[in-house]
Structure 1
């Protein structure tokens, strides 16, 4: 790779695990893959971890690029893509040979060898800009401490810069809603009232965004958007707040909006975000039972969630797949018990309901390749999923299937995800203009006054 004005990026292993085809995102710049990264991908591809597939996809992509290249071309660099406008090259660096030329780290640990590669290239290519790209926060800190001048996160799939800008799925107007409206055209279609209003006062606005006010009982949902106007479907706040689903009613307007979306047959995807104890799982499960058992809209309820260490741990647990999954799905079984706590025999009720509604507990690892028809799918703890994992699950949903994705961005357990790079954030931003989806951020903790105080003060 000759010295040019193009930047030179060194990729850490976790970039290719997070986004296996990340190499194609650097088409105008040069990319270097240290040999250590290939060794780490090789170790991971045969493991039982859920990232093993991503490692194999990354290896196949690199093999497809380098299959016709000579050893000299591999070390010098070959074009990343043959498409018009793509000027970048990709090369593999034999970093195991650098121990004598770079004295930054003496041991042979993988991260240290990658850091040595960056320092070597930084010295060799000076004054060219050499950037280490990694999702590991500690690796970024160590790189800075070791003298790496440019360190960055992989932001290609990051749609917003700060999670505070994430759309909440509703907007609250000041004062009484109608006092701010100059012109309105109202009509009744099939028993529903629709208001067509000027679009400007509501910007930014999206399809299926809820609109509520602070003083009156107005509540509506954006039905359609044109260049200059929006059409709002009038929803009675009183009706939303008194709606009873599986013997529960909303405790606040945010839960009312969530239930409206959960029970709407025209909405295929409902995204629920909010603090612990805001009622995400309870509302989703109650509406699933109501629509499956009472209304017969779905043949089964599938409950799944991310289980980071399931590859290693699930084999040691006794029983079938569903029994193995139960420790991870405690939140769902707790919610089922809460919904039937007043029954004469709670245990008997739970068994009857699970059979009647055909509730299935599935591991996210075994969802790939399936086609799910006529089911209500509840995907819990979405904040720990990457964008590609969420895509894998949503693309499983066939005809007659509704999927509810819930999560709390303050409870991310993954070492490589942050609130802005979480698949949950990615999904909210990507689906906000899709007429078949709704997103509601549940404000307020309704679990208990203890939980509410802890959420606000700890």
Structure 2
């Protein structure tokens, strides 16, 4: 049976192509949604870009007829802009405020009541990424759903970058004897991906174990290339951190993604690896560190000063880690060090569009606050001889239209996980402090 989907504004601002995601059903866009999209189209960020994209898509559909009468889509569905949002009826009885959300719900209620008069009423479903809109719809007796078509993967299926296998101790002995294992000899029920790490444990319960890495061609297991020697004073404190350093210091892997809770060492490890590659080995000519300017909580508004002074509060987490690595003693010392080196650049992502970045070690911190389009824009800037590392915690998102399953970092991990030029590790154990680990787990 065909269904009627009523879309909230946030669905279209998150994914402009959502109008094509409902198969052969009716897609209703309330007129008030167009007004909200119109108010966003002048923004210079991702929301503004999506608002303009929605406007262009709808304008293109006008060539097929009056969109207020309904236009057939190629997937068999129908899209329609509905003007009947002023009859508030039951919505006004329960929710007095004349808000745009309530107008959307009133429209959906009007459709629902109209369908109930028919012999075979069609289901009317409100689609919104706003939790309270879905709660209000439920109060009104309407069916409501989150928009899930933009989700890359379910949380239980997120790629970790490593696997633990219980094997016969003879297999572990074979690895230590020959320094490799053919994956085909393990008879695994699933496929190991290039540069995925494997922890072998004795199935008989002894302490015998081994840490290996899948080769770039995905056919064999190899020993880790690096020892656990300190890098700029930083040593791996757990197995996942050692795996991360293996990827960060491997020049044959130009794309690395690291995820994990706060305090797991993502940024510190990456900065240490970048400094080693740029300052010690001179593999790259510059270390470029950038992060999106997305506030946690209410924005503090305009900041005084020149560009560098405005950016300093946003970039301060990066400077904190650099001060630790350079072991600075006084305030301002890190600025003098960076000015003297000239090979370390801390920048906001706002200025990366249109650039070509060859021969650099690029670190993108807080990448979970990027959309899929923004991640594509950033990674496509990478020039010949560069390495890019995306860092972030998908469970700490400050962007209003992204979540753990639909952000650009998760998208990049899933899309690149089978590629031989990329590697990924999910860090799990906090090493900042015992308090920080408890806060990440309990709060």
Task: Give the alignment's TM-score, normalised by structure 2.
Answer: 0.88
The answer on 1:278 being equivalent to 2:295 is: no
- Alpha-carbon distance in 1 for matches of 2:420, 2:231: 24
Alignment of 1:355-370 (within 5 A): 355-356=340-341, 358-370=343-355
Q: Per-residue displacement from partner, 1:57-105 (whole Å, max 9, x unpaired)?
A: 1111111112452xxx322211223xxxx21111100134434697555
Q: Per-residue displacement from partner, 1:293-320 (whole Å, max 9, x unpaired)?
A: 222222222222222359x969722333
- Alpha-carbon distance in 1 for matches of 2:90, 2:262: 52
Pick from 161, 176, 188 the counterpart of residue 201 of structure 1: 188
Q: How many residues align?
A: 431
* Aligned residues of 1:241 and 1:253 also touching (Cα < 8 A): no
* Aligned residues of 2:61 and 2:67 also touching (Cα < 8 A): no
Alpha-carbon distance, 1:323 to partner = 2.8
Alpha-carbon distance, 1:367 to partner = 2.3
* Aligned residues of 2:267 and 2:391 also touching (Cα < 8 A): yes
The equivalent of 1:151 in structure 2 is: 144
Secondary structure in 1 matching 2:355 = coil
Secondary structure in 1 matching 2:16 = coil
Alignment of 1:278-427 (within 5 A): 278-308=264-294, 316-341=302-327, 347-348=332-333, 350-353=335-338, 355-356=340-341, 358-427=343-412
Q: Per-residue displacement from partner, 1:176-203 (whole Å, max 9, x unpaired)?
A: 7x5347998998xxxxx54323253262
Task: Give the alignment's TM-score, normalised by structure 1.
Answer: 0.85
- Alpha-carbon distance in 2 for matches of 1:330, 1:349: 11
Structure 1 segments unaligned to the other structure (5+ residues): 188-192
Alpha-carbon distance, 1:271 to partner = 1.0
- Alpha-carbon distance in 2 for matches of 1:358, 1:106: 59
Pick from 209, 213, 224 the counterpart of residue 200 of structure 2: 213
Pick from 31, 45, 61 the counterpart of residue 35 of structure 1: 31
Secondary structure in 1 matching 2:59 = helix
* Aligned residues of 2:319 and 2:334 also touching (Cα < 8 A): no
Taking only aligned residues, the RMSD between alpha carbons, in angstroms, comes to 2.9
The equivalent of 1:179 in structure 2 is: 170
The 1:20–1:398 alpha-carbon spacing in structure 2 relative to 1, beyond 3 Å, is: farther
* Aligned residues of 1:288 and 1:376 also touching (Cα < 8 A): yes
Alignment of 1:109-148 (within 5 A): 109-126=99-116, 127-148=121-142
* Aligned residues of 2:14 and 2:402 also touching (Cα < 8 A): no
* Aligned residues of 2:369 and 2:399 also touching (Cα < 8 A): yes
- Alpha-carbon distance in 1 for matches of 2:402, 2:326: 36
Alignment of 1:65-80 (within 5 A): 65-67=61-63, 69=65, 73-80=66-73
Structure 2 segments unaligned to the other structure (5+ residues): 202-206
